[in-house]
Amino acid sequence: MRKWLWAAAVFSSQMVHVPTGSYPSFYRPKPKESSRSERKTQVEAFSIDRTPVTRAEFLSFVKHYPEWRRSRAKSLFVDSHYLKDWRSDLDPGREGRASPIAWVSWFAAKAYCESKHEALPSTDQWEYVAFDQGRSKEQITKEALDWYGTPQSSKPPPAVGCKKPNGFGVFDLFGLVWEWTSDFNSAIVDDGESNAFCGNASVGVVDPSDYVGFMRRSFRSSLKAKYTAGSLGFRCVKGKQ
């Protein structure tokens, strides 16, 4: 019975196929890099979860992987707020089962995806999907800005999949939770001369007016892999990393 439920949960979180393509690079190439790579970052085809992983799905995961229950997860991998809005190890509460899971660390998110033979999206994959081949670019920027500017409430965010999907058929990239990426720690290199942020301002980036892009990079760069937050969840991908 349990196995069946788990399979059903996995089935319900369908993935969509994202074709090979490119999106405008955030970082400017260095002089010695080939000019071909300029301004565009190539991304190979992959599949991605339609929606962020939900609380119900994460509950199935911790049932099957006890080492990721709140009382057992090790301090190398999670901070002291891990799953703090759950009532107990196996009780996320009645409300918000279809809401995105939050208060999970990068390690826990990675373990969840790996348990399904999947992985966290790379930052390039996530940004490529969010750029959506330039479709409704202004709308996206506006949505992102509106949401980034909204103060967080302490309750779980609304349910996934309620708003309109983007052109790839992917839901909720903005508006519910920020999402972990496999290489979020590539956002800034803090002591090099090619720093995109402090010191030499926006010298290293292609489009200094990409304000929401800056916000996402600087949010990612503020994270550590064991951190958890009430507005930080994830989704998984399948295919080349």
Partner 1 sequence: MKTKSIVIAVMVAFTGVLAQAKNSDDSIYQLKSSWTRQDGKKVSLSSLRGSFVVLAMIYTSCEGACPLIVKDLKKIERAIPAERKSLVRFALVSFDTERDTAAKLKEYASAQALDPSRWSLYRGSETSVRELAMVLGLKYRQDAGGDFEHSNQITLLDPDGRIAVQLSGLKQDPAPLLTAIRK
Q: How far apart are CA 74 and CA 66, in angstroms?
A: 12
- Which residues sit opposite 24 in a β-bridge? 40
Q: How far from 58 is each of 104, 126, 139, CA to CA, in Å?
A: 10, 21, 31
In the complex with partner 1, the residue whose CB is nearer, 75 or 153, is 75
In the complex with partner 1, the residue whose CB is nearer, 170 or 236, is 236
CB 191, min distance to partner 1, A: 6
Site string for partner 1, 138-177 (x = CB under 8 A): ----------------------------------------
Position 94 contacts partner 1 (CB under 8 A) = no
In the complex with partner 1, the residue whose CB is nearer, 156 or 233, is 233
Exposed (0-12), middle (13-18) or buried (19+): which is 21, by Cβ within 10 Å?
A: middle
- How many of the other CB atoms lie within 10 Å of CB of 152? 11
CA angle 152, 48, 89 (to 5 degrees): 55
Q: How far apart are CA 127 and CA 205, in angstroms?
A: 15
Site string for partner 1, 7-46 (x = CB under 8 A): --------------------x-xx-xxx--x---------
Position 91 contacts partner 1 (CB under 8 A) = no
Position 198 contacts partner 1 (CB under 8 A) = no
Task: Restricting to residues 57-76, name those near partner 1 by CB under 8 A.
Answer: 71-76
Position 236 contacts partner 1 (CB under 8 A) = no
Task: Restricting to residues 211-230, name those near partner 1 by CB under 8 A.
Answer: 221, 224-225
Q: Where do contacts with partner 1 occur on this chain (CB under 8 A)?
A: 27, 29-30, 32-34, 37, 71-77, 80, 106-107, 110, 182-183, 185-192, 194, 221, 224-225, 241
